[in-house]
Amino acid sequence: MATLPAFQFESLSVPETGAAVLFVDKSLTLGGVGQSLDEKSGGAIGRAIPAADFKGDFCKTIRILAPAGADLDQIVLVGLGDEALSERDFAALGGAAMGAVKGLKSVMVVAEANGKEIDAATASLIAMGMKLRAYDFDLYKTEKGKPKEAAKAAKVTILAADAEGAANIWETDDAVSNGTILARDLVNEPANVLGPKEFAAKAKALEELGAEVEILKLADLEKLGMNALLGVAQGSVRKPRVAIMKWMGGFNDEAPLVFVGKGVVFDSGGISIKPAAGMEDMKGDMGGAAAVTGLMHALCQRKAKVNAIGIIGLVENMPDGNAQRPGDIVTSMSGQTIEVINTDAEGRLVLADLLHYSKETFKPRFMIDLATLTGAVIVALGAHNAGIFSNSDALCAQLSASGAATGETVWRLPLAKEYDKMIDSKFADMKNTGGRWAGSITAAQFLKRFVGDVDWVHIDVAGTAMDAPKTEISQGWASGFGVRLLDRLVKDNYEG
């Protein structure tokens, strides 16, 4: 993992060393600590604003180097724009601030907007945005091109009116940041390093945070009859695993929330092999499993008052002499038979057995699965919304609200019997592809055949978890999408 800054919270004061960060809107009025800093530096801030043509636009920054009269290395102004700011905006502002001070040893962030105090929760959100922005995945860059560790490991002090309140909230937000960063790390790791066994070990490590983790191996999966999942794995020399992570922080008799993740550590397509161009991206085909693991990390670390179970199917989809063939028919754990038309539609085969197993074993309050399931969802929604599919309007509404709050937004796509018909098979109960059209929906219809009447949402994160565009809080290829979304869903609706 990349070296990340350490955060601390202190009461409001005028920063004296290091870099100081101030937030101002388009009125460009300083006030409060900013005013004092400006006076101390002989009006350096007031002069720099027009000189740098800084207008206070949202997330725009200027840097004033070595201001006279102060012992500061620099003063950074971050623009608030002139519109009402939501939670996700404050995280983005933290990200923008980190972008301007990255690599500095000591950063003092003044939690004021135009000199008016920022509340504790918002101060913590700024820290979260900063931490997520500071992440990069440089594990495999050898020393030469790599920034010096010491310079990168900045100390960030947030100066806030309610420093104690902010520090308390940060304990929770930091757990969620760490979960997001864990998910990013898992997705960014190459498949030669992170196979099913290695991923399972990362899940097992959650025991250090108080989770109860069980790893099912090949013989266990055979015994359970998870033949749909096993069919995908059979072309790889690396054996599959299923990891079950339990956090029982709720009441004894409370039905658990179950999160299911697609963990295809590499998806070559199998015998229906993918084209060479871009195939390297398929190391990220475990983005769903990574989000589930990151979420469980967050819930454990922040000791969420909820019963939650994460279950991930870890397999590699490879072509070899023992690989599954198009035309093969497998009997899933549920007893339903599946004709494998295309071995590249493997994610749904993995999830089918996990969903059935979860429904039977855990008697869940709901099941939410996350999967980099279809290229078609990228065609439909790009990188800015995950597709959701569900049998529960209420759960969709909750998820949409969590998406809007965190910025990990989701958009619902339909399910209907006309789409379901598209996966009927001539030879078996169903086939694993539904043809060219509505590819994300027919994939979801396939999953729906394994959830029974449990409340369920499928989140297709193919466009959002990996190969993500740069944002103020995510600079890397992996975004960690899903961790903040689902943590928020739990926090707002299912705790205490």
175's contact among Zn ion, Mn ion, ligand BES, none, with CB below 5 to 8 A by partner kind, is none
- CB closer to ligand BES out of 164 and 424: 424
Is 375 among the residues that bind ligand BES (CB under 6 A)?
Answer: yes
Torsion of CA 116, 119, 122, 127, to 10 degrees: 80
Rounded CA separation 493/468 (Å)? 28
Name the nearest CA neighbour of 156 among 128, 184, 136.
Answer: 128
Annotated catalytic residue: which of 47, 105, 238, 274?
A: 274
> Which residue number places its CB atom closest to ligand BES?
375
- CB closer to Mn ion out of 316 and 346: 346
Instruction: Give the strands of the sheet with 386-390, arranged side by side.
Output: 212-216, 241-248, 307-317, 257-267, 366-371, 456-460, 386-390, 410-412
**Left (φ > 0), alpha (ψ -120 to 50) or beta: where does 303 sit?**
left
User: How many alpha carbons lie under 13 Å from residue 459 in its C-beta half-sphere?
Assistant: 30
Shortest Cβ distance from residue 436 to ligand BES (Å)? 9
445's contact among Zn ion, Mn ion, ligand BES, none, with CB below 5 to 8 A by partner kind, is none
Rounded CA separation 489/365 (Å)? 14
Largest CA distance in the chain: 82
Query: Catalytic residue at 26?
Result: no
Task: Identify the residue among 331, 337, 342, 391 touching ligand BES (CB under 6 A).
Answer: 342
Coil vs helix vs strand at 269: coil
Name the nearest CA neighbour of 129 among 74, 78, 83, 187.
Answer: 78
Task: Identify the residue among 294, 347, 403, 463 touching Zn ion (CB under 5 A).
Answer: 347
Question: Which segment (51-59, 74-82, 102-110, 344-352) binds ligand BES by CB under 6 A?
Answer: 344-352
Is 174 among the residues that bind Zn ion (CB under 5 A)?
Answer: no
Is 345 among the residues that bind ligand BES (CB under 6 A)?
Answer: yes
Task: Identify the residue among 267, 339, 353, 369 touching Zn ion (CB under 5 A).
Answer: 267
Question: Which segment (104-112, 262-270, 401-409, 428-436) binds Mn ion by CB under 5 A?
Answer: 262-270
Query: Catalytic residue at 348?
Result: yes
Task: Identify the residue among 73, 185, 344, 460 touching Mn ion (CB under 5 A).
Answer: 344
* Stretch 162-201 residues interacting with Mn ion (CB under 5 A): none
Annotated catalytic residue: which of 348, 365, 431, 488?
A: 348
Question: Which segment (126-134, 298-306, 366-374, 409-417) binds ligand BES by CB under 6 A?
Answer: 366-374
CB neighbour class for 145 (10 Å; exposed up to 12, middle 13-18, buried from 19): exposed
Is 346 among the residues that bind ligand BES (CB under 6 A)?
Answer: yes
* Stretch 462-481 residues interacting with ligand BES (CB under 6 A): 462
Using CB under 6 A as the binding criterion, the count of chain residues that bind ligand BES stands at 15
Shortest Cβ distance from residue 224 to Mn ion (Å)? 23
Angle among Cα 104, 110, 112 to the nearest 5 degrees reads: 150
Task: Identify the residue among 173, 267, 316, 339 touching Mn ion (CB under 5 A).
Answer: 267
Task: Identify the residue among 180, 433, 445, 464 touching ligand BES (CB under 6 A).
Answer: 433
Name the nearest CA neighbour of 238 among 346, 310, 320.
Answer: 320
Distance (Å) of CA 6 to CA 105, 155, 157, 310: 10, 5, 8, 29
* Stretch 253-282 residues interacting with ligand BES (CB under 6 A): 267
446 neighbors 420 (Cβ within 8 angstroms): no
Helix, strand, coil percentages, rounded to 5, for the chain: 40, 20, 40
430 neighbors 423 (Cβ within 8 angstroms): yes
Question: Which segment (102-110, 159-167, 342-350, 398-406) binds ligand BES by CB under 6 A?
Answer: 342-350
Which stretches of the chain bind ligand BES, using CB under 6 A?
267, 285, 342, 344-347, 372-376, 433, 439, 462
* Catalytic machinery residues: 274, 348
